[in-house]
């Protein structure tokens, strides 16, 4: 065990000792977790709107002490409910890597700004992945890391035998960053604001709907049976896309008649083992503190 | 030759017939190209500030009619001077794929919104890559596509034998999206504005410098001889990072005593064959129309 790994295990162990807090308090952190995890700032007061000024400690837990199998030396620090963190956890499960060393961090306690995490991640964001002595905090890179290192194990998240299908998966995987930009940064974060106007809300919710409609159309235009975001198999595109849809549903988005294919997709993938297993812990115990996306 | 490929060659051939325009006119398109290529909007008038209201047609050229070797059926549509387009072209050269089918598109003539391109790229952005019948317009995915399909050919842009080094390359490759967000979207696009304030300019130029300092430090902290953004070998991280630095230098950024390692990096990589060969054509013939980044 390397010195760096020992330090990280000790760090994780300190987290284990903390007490769990109430489900209400966990629940209140949805907005804050997303913001910190993705490294964005929001106008003053926005966090408080969604969280109802009820920020308290998240339960902090080190879920797994040992790796399941011989594996590169890595450790994942994550926050509950953050789409960037969730995508890494789904990829790990799909690659058959249950039981990896990990630490659930409290944003409220600023554990993402702790010395231990800043040492591997100078930007202090979630997720933080330590690989040996290297910090890999970019979640879009972390999911590729596990696919590349564990190629041939578990789900093939990139098709290896069909260049055209590979192109489609790479297109959709990266295209989902538009959901982040348009739906999260441009719309959801605006809805947090105190001084929002009806006109601007209408404009931005239209941007949100237009973006989601791309994926609704991708699903509807595919041939029968091709019910994933990039065709007939679960792929890296779903690893990145699904957590956003689930986050939006939690915040009140209704996938009604406007998005029938996305609704079916959400309901079906919610039952997928890798997604069930990594479902944000605090979502299981309490409703969201806000239903801001009901306006969409 | 597939029907889709034939159509694309015919489309490219139509472009070949157009006449080249003056170097001044090419030169004026720097800001517009970047904006359209990356799908961003800028407040009214911003484009005109940098371009001096001199938007005219870019020369449009189909540089290569035939692929050099048996290869998947693909065609690249690109704009001169766009960092996202440039990264794809550098990756192609590094993979030994000179002579691929490609079309230089005029943003002024709105060729990125043509039916041919919208058919493979509903967002109408540059670059657009057609792979068989699939559109891959996300440049971060396109570079991965060529690395995956031509693995073992040309430069290995991801290390395959060292998980820790792979993690570092994936971290830096994706981290460079911060340069896009902080230096381009938050700073450069603000500098385009008519109604900018001294206070806000000072604040945003500080954001720009802070972001660049990450990479200056990465270069300075590496062991002797490790003079690339992610260690001692040219990698996918450099494919993504270099075009931004070159774009900033073109717009007046001085890599002086504040960024000595970045300066050496810029000068050295400017001579790299893949970069020399793909240097934006209109940069070779005319100075930039603006030196907005002199304020940094």
Residue B30 confidence (pLDDT): 57
Fold equal for B3-149 and B163-295? no
Instruction: Report CB contact under 8 Å: A132, B167.
Output: yes
Q: What is the pLDDT of residue B35?
A: 55
pLDDT exceeds 70 at position A39? no
Task: Tell me the shortest Cα–Cα distance from B54 to chain A, in angstroms.
Answer: 31
User: pLDDT, tens digit, for every residue of B240-281?
Assistant: 999 999 999 999 999 988 999 999 999 999 999 999 999 999
- Whether residues B142 and A173 touch (CB distance < 8 A) is answered with no
Residue pair B120/B130 in contact (Cβ under 8 Å)? The answer is yes
The alpha helices in B17-137, defined as continuous H runs, are 23-27, 30-37, 46-51, 83-94, 115-120
Chain A: nearest CA to B284, how far in angstroms? 32
Query: What is the pLDDT, as a whole number, of residue A7?
Result: 40
- Tell whether the torsion through CA atoms of A270, A271, A275 and A281 is positive or negative: positive
The Cα-based distances of A71 to A116, A140, B42, B138, B161 in angstroms read 22, 20, 47, 32, 14
Q: What pLDDT does B31 receive? A: 52
Q: Each residue of A161-174: pLDDT tens digit?
A: 899 999 999 999 99
- Whether the predicted pLDDT of A35 surpasses 60: no
Nearest to A10 by CA among A129, A116, A106: A116
Candidates B132, B136, B171; nearest CB to A141:
B171
| Percent helix, percent strand, percent coil in chain A, to nearest 5 | 55, 5, 40
Q: Answer whether residue A156 shows pLDDT above 80.
A: yes
| pLDDT tier for residue B222 given thresholds of 50, 70 and 90 | confident
Residues of A in contact with B236 (CB under 8 A): none
Pick the CATH number of A163-295 from 3.40.50.300, 3.80.30.10, 3.40.30.10, 1.20.1050.10: 1.20.1050.10
Class at the top of the CATH hierarchy for domain B3-149: alpha beta
What ipTM, to 2 d.p.? 0.81
Kindly tell me if the per-residue pLDDT of A211 is higher than 70: yes
Is 90 exceeded by the pLDDT of residue A126? yes
Work out the minimum CA distance from B138 to partner chain A, whole angstroms: 6
Distance from CA of B23 to the nearest CA of A (A): 34
Which residues 146-175 of B are in CB contact (within 8 Å) with A? 148-149, 158, 160, 163-168, 170-171, 173-175
Which residues have a Cβ under 8 Å from the Cβ of A6 and sit 6 or more positions away?
Answer: none
pLDDT at B51 over 60: no
Predicted confidence at residue B221, as pLDDT, reads: 84
% of chain B at pLDDT higher than 90: 64
Q: Which residues of B touch A149 (CB under 8 A)?
A: 163, 166
What residues does each domain of chain A span? Answer: 3-149, 163-295
pLDDT tens per residue across span A240-296 = 999 999 999 999 999 988 999 999 999 999 999 999 999 999 999 988 988 999 999
Cβ(A9)–Cβ(A101) under 8 Å? yes
* Mean pLDDT taken over chain B: 80
Q: Which among A141, A158, A167 has CB closest to B173?
A: A141
Kindly state the average pLDDT of the residues B143-157: 96
What would the mean pLDDT of A58-85 be, rounded to a whole number? Answer: 64
Is pLDDT of B33 > 60?
A: no
Instruction: With CB atoms and an 8 Å threshold, state whether A132 touches B214.
Output: no
Cβ contacts below 8 Å, chain A against chain B, sum to 92
Residue of B175, B157, B185, B169 whose CA lies nearest to B39: B185
Query: In 3-state terms, what secondary structure has residue B50?
Result: helix
Question: B186 touching A, CB under 8 A?
Answer: no
Nearest residue of chain A to residue B38 (CA atoms)? A178
Neighbour count for residue A92 (Cβ, 10 Å): 25
């Amino acid at each position: 065990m390397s010195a760096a790994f020992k330090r990280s295990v000790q760090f994780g162990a300190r987290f284990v000792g903390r007490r769990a807090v109430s489900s209400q308090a966990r629940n209140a952190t949805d907005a804050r977790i997303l913001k910190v995890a993705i490294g964005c700032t929001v106008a003053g007061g926005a966090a408080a709107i969604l969280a109802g000024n009820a920020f308290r400690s998240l339960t902090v837990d080190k879920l797994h002490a040992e790796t399941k199998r011989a594996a590169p030396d890595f450790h994942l620090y994550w926050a509950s409910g953050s789409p960037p963190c969730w995508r890494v956890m789904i990829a790990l499960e799909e690659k058959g890597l249950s039981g990896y060393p990990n630490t659930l961090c409290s944003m409220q306690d600023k554990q993402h700004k702790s010395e231990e995490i800043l040492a591997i991640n100078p930007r202090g964001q979630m997720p933080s992945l330590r690989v040996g002595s290297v910090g890999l905090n970019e979640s879009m890179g972390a999911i590729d890391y596990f696919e590349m290192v564990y190629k041939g194990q578990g789900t093939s998240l990139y098709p290896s035998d069909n260049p055209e299908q590979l192109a489609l998966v790479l297109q959709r995987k990266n295209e989902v960053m538009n959901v982040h930009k348009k739906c999260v940064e441009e719309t959801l974060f605006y809805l947090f604001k105190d001084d929002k106007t009806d006109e601007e809300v209408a404009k931005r919710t239209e941007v949100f709907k237009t973006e989601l409609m791309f994926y609704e159309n991708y699903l509807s235009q595919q041939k029968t049976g091709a019910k994933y975001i990039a065709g007939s198999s679960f792929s890296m595109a779903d690893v990145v896309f699904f957590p956003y849809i689930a986050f939006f549903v939690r915040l009140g988005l209704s996938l009604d008649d406007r998005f029938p294919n996305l609704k079916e997709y959400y309901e079906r993938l919610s039952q997928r083992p890798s997604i069930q297993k990594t479902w944000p812990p605090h979502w299981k115990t309490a409703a969201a503190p806000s239903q801001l996306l009901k306006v969409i």
